[in-house]
Structure 1
C-alpha cells in the first residue's frame, strides 16, 4: 500500500513552490494534478512518473470529484508515492479535506504538504499588503463559487461586509454581479476600492482596478477573464503610495 501526498503547488510562480513539494514531485510514481498548476511546476514532476490531469476548471472538469478520489485510492494500491498536486494550498478552497477524509476511510496513508495560497501571494505581487496599520487590521478569505447542493447556508455576505476591513474573494469573477450588490446593501460604500488580479504571480499577471460601484461594468468592458482573485478594501489604495517608488 502506497501513500498519498496532498501537495500545494502555490499560486503559479515556480519560485513559490515549497522545497518539500518539489522533492516529492521529483521522486513520485504518480502525479494527479489540477488545471491551475503552472507548466513550470508540472515540469518538476519525475519524467518516469505517470501524469494524470484531473481538470478542475469552471464548467469543464476532466474528472468528477468522486472519480478523482477513486483514482487516488487505486493508484495508492499500486504505487508507493502518489502526489495529488493542487493549486495554492490543499486546505484553502481546494477540497483537500474531503480527499483526505475519503483516503483515510479507505485505509490509505495521507500527508499534507501546504502550499502558498493565492489569496496571500497574489495581492503581494500586486504590491497590496492585506493588513497595514494605516489601512486594515483584519482580513477575510471567502469563496465566490459555492458548491452546488452544499449542506450549509449560503455565504452571509452581510457578515462578510461588516466583519473585517479587507475582503479577499477566490473564484468569484463570474458571480460578481450577485456578490457586489449584496456587499453594498450590507453597508459597504460604492466607492470602496477593489482590484481584480488575473494569473497572479505568473508572467502574464493582469490587474483591473476600480471600486464596488464600477467594477462590474469594467469587467464587462475589458472582457476580463478568470482565474482571478478579488481584493476589496482600503488596502488597495496602498498601491498609490508606492507608485512613485516604482516609477
Structure 2
C-alpha cells in the first residue's frame, strides 16, 4: 500500500528543524462526515489553521486539532463572508507564517469549488500546496437519493454544470445539456430552476423527462423532490426547498423510488421524500 505524501519539514542552516508552510486544498465531501477521506481527516488533525466554507458538513470540524485557528470563509450566494481574492490572500499569508493550512471545501475542491483559482494563486506566490480530492455532490448526493447517474438502459453519459456563473449569468451550453439519453447534474441552480427548465425544454429536452432536486443530500435533513422537467420548479416551490440543493435531470431519476435506500430517520431526523 502506498503512503500518503508527508507534511514537509525542512532543516535550516543551523541544523534545527523548522516547519514549512503549506496549503492543503481539501474536499470535505457532500455532507456526511463519514464520507470524508482518511487523508482529509488526518490533515484536519494536524492542521495549524483551517479555512472552511459553509458547505462543510456538520461534525467535520470536530476533527480539527484543538488549538488550531479556524477561519470561516462563507461563500454562500450573495453572502460571501470573505471575497475570493481575500481568501486567496489569507491562505498565502497563513502559509508564509509557517503554518500548515487546510483550505476545507464542501465536495471536491476541483469541481465547482474554486480550488483551481486558489491553486493558481498559490503557484504564482511560490507556496507549496497539495490537492486532496473529496466525494463531489453529484456522486455522493445521487447515491444517497437512490439515483444512478448512468445506467445502460437510461443514460450513457453524464454532464455536470453550474447554475451560478461568475458573472451571475446563466449562459450555459443549452444545446449540449438538452441532448437525449444523458443525465444532467446542476450545482448551485436552485434559484435559477425555472429558467433552467424553460431553456432545456426550449432546446429540445422533453418536458416529461424525470427530474429531481435533493436538499441537504447525505445528511439527516435530506429531502428529495421528484417530478418532470416541466413540473419540478413548481414542486420545489411548493416544498420550499432551500440551498444547498442538487438538481438531477434525466431518465435515471425514474429509478429513485425503486432504489432509495437512505433512511434519514435513522440519522436522527424524519425521512422526507416527495414524489410526483
Q: How does 1:188-207 map to 2 (within 5 A)?
A: 188-207=205-224
| Aligned residues of 1:30 and 1:79 also touching (Cα < 8 A) | no
Residues of 2 paired with 1:51 and 1:172: CA distance? Answer: 29
Equivalent residue number for residue 176 of structure 1 = 193
Q: TM-score, normalised by structure 1?
A: 0.94
| Aligned residues of 1:158 and 1:182 also touching (Cα < 8 A) | no
**Matched length:** 243
- In structure 2, which of residues 218, 230, 242 is the aligned counterpart of residue 225 of structure 1? 242
Point out the structure with the larger helix share. Answer: 1
| Aligned residues of 1:170 and 1:228 also touching (Cα < 8 A) | yes
Give, in angstroms, the shift of residue 49 of structure 1. Answer: 0.3
- In structure 2, which of residues 13, 22, 36 is the aligned counterpart of residue 3 of structure 1? 22
Equivalent residue number for residue 10 of structure 2 = none
Unaligned runs of 5+ in 2: 1-19, 264-276
1:149–1:133 Cα change, 3 Å: closer
1:110–1:242 Cα change, 3 Å: closer
Identify which of structures 1 and 2 has the higher relative contact order when contacts are C-alpha pairs closer than 8 Å and 6+ apart: 1
| Aligned residues of 1:7 and 1:85 also touching (Cα < 8 A) | yes
Residues of 2 paired with 1:108 and 1:97: CA distance? Answer: 14
Q: How does 1:56-71 map to 2 (within 5 A)?
A: 56-71=75-90
Residues of 2 paired with 1:88 and 1:123: CA distance? Answer: 13
Moved over 6 A (4+): none
1:127–1:148 Cα change, 3 Å: same
Give yes or no for the alignment of 1:162 onto 2:170. no
Equivalent residue number for residue 73 of structure 2 = 54
- RMSD (Å), alpha carbons: 1.8
Q: How does 1:1-247 map to 2 (within 5 A)?
A: 1-148=20-167, 154-162=171-179, 165-242=182-259
1:151-193 per-residue CA deviation (whole Å, 9 max, x = no partner) reads xx93111211117511011000000121111100111111110
Which structure has the bigger radius of gyration? 2
